[in-house]
């Protein structure tokens, strides 16, 4: 893969807080409260950015639906 393709693939796998809010239907401040309470996974902190693994968020809601 070229560097730009790798970056695009990685960007699809990592979500910003706004993207997590859109996926979950929660507000941004609710996302942070749920992280503090342990109801959502801790985000990754990469070079000054905060991101969640898409797979972690999807798995959490998939498990709750089962």
Residue 21 has pLDDT above 80, yes or no: yes
pLDDT at 60 over 60: yes
Packing angle, helices 3-13 and 54-65, rounded to 10: 30
Per-residue pLDDT tens digits for 22-53: 999 999 999 999 999 999 999 999 899 999 99
The more confidently predicted of residues 63 and 24 is 24
Query: 26: left (phi > 0), else alpha (psi -120 to 50), else beta?
Result: beta
pTM for the complete prediction?
Answer: 0.76
Percent of the chain with pLDDT over 70: 77
- Average pLDDT (1-21) is 73
């Amino acid at each position: 893969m070229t560097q730009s393709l790798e970056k695009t693939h990685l960007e699809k796998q990592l979500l910003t807080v706004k993207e997590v809010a859109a996926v979950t239907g929660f507000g941004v401040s609710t996302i942070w409260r749920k992280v503090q309470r342990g109801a959502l996974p801790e985000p990754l902190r990469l070079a000054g950015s905060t991101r969640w693994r898409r797979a972690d968020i999807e798995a959490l809601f998939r498990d709750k639906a089962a």
